[in-house]
Structure 1
Amino acid sequence: MTLPWRTIAWPLLIATLLAACGTTPQSHHYLLTAAEAPLPSGDSPTLGIGPISLSAYLNRNALVRRSGSNQLELSTTERWGEPLEDGITRVLGLNLAGLLQTKSVVRYPWHPARAPQYGIKVHVLEMDATADSATLVVEWLVYRPADASAIDRQLSRQSSPLPGPDADSNTLASLYSDMLLALSEDIAATIRARDAQSPADSTE
């Protein structure tokens, strides 16, 4: 018995369409990285990283680019390998541990009875890229958790040129990591200056 060609063709067509719908582009995941440094050997100063917060448009796992002054492009396949807030916390902690040679680094929130000497609060205002450059804008605060007093508050803006309009996301992640290192160096300099002014603070 020979079946009409339409009887055979329709199921094949439907199966082909369903298979096409089930195929999604492969996702790629990226990490921010800390600078290489010798393992810290000291126990002072004690540092607390956080809280770290993000502007709402960055609070997602997709890498963000700007295609115009007020237009964003959110990649469907280029993603952070961890929540961006966690990645920034991790990198700042590792960078500062190396720069200040201290093993005493904790993440916010910490136990109130074991508050660190210095807390580092960061709000990321911008972290995105155009066809020409990558930009990081943050407001940061170094404070004393013991009494919540501010030591230094700054608004920092960094921008790094991209090698071309088709720069890949791995290049972006590397540039953001470099800018976080520069931010870490500024924060470390503030803490060193404070310790130099008040040596007693470093032994609390």
Structure 2
Amino acid sequence: MRHPMILAGVLILLSGCINLGEGTRQRIRLYTLQPTVSAAEPRFGLAGQSVGVGPVYLPDYLQRTQVITLDAPNEYRLAEFAKWAEPLEENILRVTAENLFRLLESERILTFPWRSGRKPGYLIRMDIRRFEAVTGDAAHLTVQWTIEPQESEKAPRNGLFQGKSPLQGEGTEAVVAAMSRTLGDFSRRMAEELARFAEQGKAGS
């Protein structure tokens, strides 16, 4: 996996314009989640093992191109001129894998589907229940996760992650940056769980 040269909470990849009438144009901005784990953070031992991230399952309300925010308890707002630069599912996989690459002493971090034809030593399955920002508050992420070892004699490990990151500013850039931070916190949790799982496997062998 290649290291990105620049870390950022949010990256505006490109923009276009929509004509809203005579003399008026609205710029469309495309956003992407970014890795937030620093390469200088402590690393967890997982030498000799490969890790696969995915598949990830998203609820229907997140399977759209627009960035959404929760404006009221039962009301979502779609940002008409702020869209994801790639499918959100793929963005989550890629960023989680990059975060784990910086956290784990692992040979390989792969994303689903596995192009090599071989399953990694550990799989991280993600069933995302919630992933959005509440207007004027924070970004929230709820994930039902499963770590599945390739060795059949080991039982999978399951858990629920619930995290949030306060918005630091206004607008879509602040929303996406906060979402990136929550995904970074989830990645740290997975690194800890993977390292603990691997140590338990050594103790039982």
Counterpart CA distance in 1 for 2:34 and 2:179 is 9
From 43, 50, 57, the equivalent of 2:54 is 50
Larger mean CA deviation between 148-157 and 175-184 belongs to 148-157
Q: Deviations over 1:59-116 (max 9, x none)?
A: 1111111121111100111111111111100011111111112241222222696221
Counterpart CA distance in 1 for 2:55 and 2:62 is 16
Inter-CA distance 74–100: structure 2 relative to 1 (3 Å threshold): same
Larger mean CA deviation between 22-31 and 112-121 belongs to 22-31
- 1:187 maps to 190
Are 2:154 and 1:152 equivalent residues in the alignment?
Answer: no
Larger mean CA deviation between 19-28 and 132-141 belongs to 19-28
Task: Give the TM-score taking structure 1 as reference length.
Answer: 0.77
Counterpart CA distance in 1 for 2:20 and 2:180 is 39
> Which AA in structure 1 matches 2:38?
E
Q: Displaced runs of 4+ in structure 1, greater than 6 A?
A: none
- 1:121 maps to 125
Sequence identity, in percent? 28
Structure 2: gaps spanning 5 or more residues:
1-18
Q: Deviations over 1:144-187 (max 9, x none)?
A: 245496432111111222246xx111111111111111111111
For the 8 Å contact 2:20–2:26, the answer to whether it is kept is no
Greater Cα radius of gyration, structure 1 or 2 = 1
Inter-CA distance 196–145: structure 2 relative to 1 (3 Å threshold): closer
CA RMSD of aligned residues (A): 2.9
Counterpart CA distance in 2 for 1:140 and 1:127 is 14
Are 2:134 and 1:134 equivalent residues in the alignment?
Answer: no
Count of matched residue pairs:
181
Counterpart CA distance in 1 for 2:161 and 2:191 is 14
SS at the partner of 2:103?
helix
Inter-CA distance 60–113: structure 2 relative to 1 (3 Å threshold): closer
Structure 1: gaps spanning 5 or more residues:
1-17
Counterpart CA distance in 1 for 2:147 and 2:158 is 6
- 1:30 maps to 31
Relative to total residues, which structure has the larger helix share, 1 or 2?
Answer: 1
Inter-CA distance 22–150: structure 2 relative to 1 (3 Å threshold): farther
Deviation, 1:54, is: 0.6
> Which AA in structure 2 matches 1:26?
R
- 1:79 maps to 83
Deviation, 1:19, is: 8.4
For the 8 Å contact 1:43–1:104, the answer to whether it is kept is no
Counterpart CA distance in 2 for 1:97 and 1:183 is 14
For the 8 Å contact 1:97–1:103, the answer to whether it is kept is no
> Which AA in structure 2 matches 1:37?
A
Counterpart CA distance in 2 for 1:36 and 1:186 is 15
Counterpart CA distance in 2 for 1:88 and 1:19 is 33
